[in-house]
Amino acid sequence: MRRLTLPLSILIWVAVWAALRLGVQPPIPGSVMNLYLSILTISIAVFLVADQDRFDAFLAPLVSLLREPGLAIPRIGVLVAIPLLLGWFTYSGVRPQFDPPFEARTIHPEPPASFKLHGKAFDVLKGRRPAGMEVNEANLAAGKAVYYRNCMYCHGDDLDGKGHFANAFNPLPANFRDGGTISQLEETYVYWRVATGGPGLPQGATPWNSSMPVWQDFLSDEEIWQVVAYIYDASGSTPRVSEEH
């Protein structure tokens, strides 16, 4: 079994890489992926050096490759392949990236006059926060819980658009701490955006490639109002008030 220490170590590393790369959706951001692989590499190294016999078994195939006369051809192949691979990785990291042409899009698309919310019409222009949904300590606490269960992974635990999965999306999730986002909007507009998600955007918003789900499929009316209140409060923003209000 010890003769298989080196190939098993490589197989475990590759299997974990493949599971993280291919088995996790949405994709793990590159920086997080590198962190996981670094932890995996260190863990395997610690496991190997913790036992001298195990470490010697790991090194044995490498020592044989470098010393045995009958392995001259494989040895030359490895010694040529290593600098070629390092050169390729270096080139891949510094080569110019040719991004697709810039697509102009509306940052805050015009909302419909009303939309269907759980089967009922909601007036975006004249709607009001319903009774019982006032911005108070209880509703803010409930909204915080909703946010951290559902929104934090993309919009970030600091509401800055830098969540764990943020780099996997185009466009990036909204940064609520940016003065050009929710502080420019009425809360009924934000309520519409949360409730209908990306699929609810009008044709005039094309190519607004939003990945936000239709949250009214998962949250109640009250939970949406609560999380909207929390987003405004936690980001230090105040809802814009229309002249009609």
Q: Is 67 within the bounds of a domain? A: yes
- Domain with 226, as residue range(s), is 114-234
Q: Is residue 73 part of a domain?
A: yes
Any domain includes 219? yes
Residue 104 lies in a domain: no
How many domains are contained in the chain?
A: 2
Which of 45-49, 178-182, 223-227, 231-235 comes out lowest in average pLDDT?
A: 178-182
SS (H, E, C) the chain: CHHHHHHHHHHHHHHHHHHHHHCCCCCCCHHHHHHHHHHHHHHHHHHHHCCHHHHHHHHHHHHHHHHCHHHHHHHHHHHHHHHHHHHHHHHHHHCCCCCCCCCCCCCCCCCCCEEEECCEEEECCCCCCCCCCCCCHHHHHHHHHHHHHHCHHHHCCCCCCCCCCHHHCCCCCCCCCCCCCHHHCCHHHHHHHHHHCHHHCCHHHCCCCCCCCCHHHCCCHHHHHHHHHHHHHHCCCCCCCCCCC
What pLDDT is stored for residue 238 in this prediction?
A: 86
pLDDT at 132 over 90: no
The verdict on residue 169 lying in a domain is: yes
pLDDT the model gives residue 178: 86
- Average of pLDDT values for 190-200? 90
Q: What is the pLDDT of residue 115?
A: 86
* Residues 6+ away with beta carbon under 8 Å from 148: 157
In a domain, 202, yes or no: yes
Same domain (yes/no): 72, 146:
no
In a domain, 223, yes or no: yes
Are residues 123 and 205 part of one domain? yes
CATH code, domain carrying 166: 1.10.760
pLDDT at 244 over 60: no
Residues 217 and 122 in one domain: yes
**pTM, 2 dp:** 0.56
Please check the confidence at residue 122 and state whether its pLDDT lies above 90.
no
Q: Are residue 118 and residue 223 in the same domain, yes or no? A: yes
Looking at the fold, whether 129 and 223 belong to one and the same domain comes out as yes
